[in-house]
Chains A and B, each alone.
Chain A
């Protein structure tokens, strides 16, 4: 199985900050990497797919990059609505796997 490792696990930031979350795959997954945002008590929401493609309706302050085994999610200027947990997810091979999550807190 492909292991997905996110860092950091917790990130403290302020409104207006630029933040970076990293995800590493245990083997190459090409660009088959997605990012989800989850708020407490809610279902996850797709933000980015194929490593760098922004889902419709997602603000442009979110961006993704990477390929192979190293991937990055960047939020260019944090807004109050962005404080949530973020998960990376590989959909290159079954069984699909997720990173352990990054809790972005104020």
Chain B
């Protein structure tokens, strides 16, 4: 069955960097685009970024553009999110998710990793 396991979250000071990872299994990772979506505590969902199956195409949400970088390693079935210049408002649970059935729709979600930006 599909499994997505995020890691790398924690407490970080404003202005610092953090890299999140997502380990994928149970599907053909190299054939699937992948998303990151976040959810601030007690708030709604915010789409963060997407990467195509081969890593050649990426898109970002307005609030993270220029600060966050999505990447992947198909040889390791791993997805990453490099987060630089972190702000307090980046505090959230970060979910990785795969494409649904060959489309770019957000399909299956991992359980998330919590990032807290605080001084």
Contact = CB atoms under 8 A, between A and B. Distances in A.
A95 B104 CA distance: 12
Contact of B46 (A49, A94, A98): A98
A87 interface: yes
A30 interface: no
Interface residues of B, number: 22
A90 B104 CA distance: 11
Contacts, number: 51
Contacts of B111: 42-43
B113 to A, nearest CB: 11
B96 to A, nearest CB: 10
A44 B45 contact: yes
8 contacts: A34-B106, A43-B95, A43-B111, A43-B112, A87-B44, A91-B106, A94-B50, A95-B62
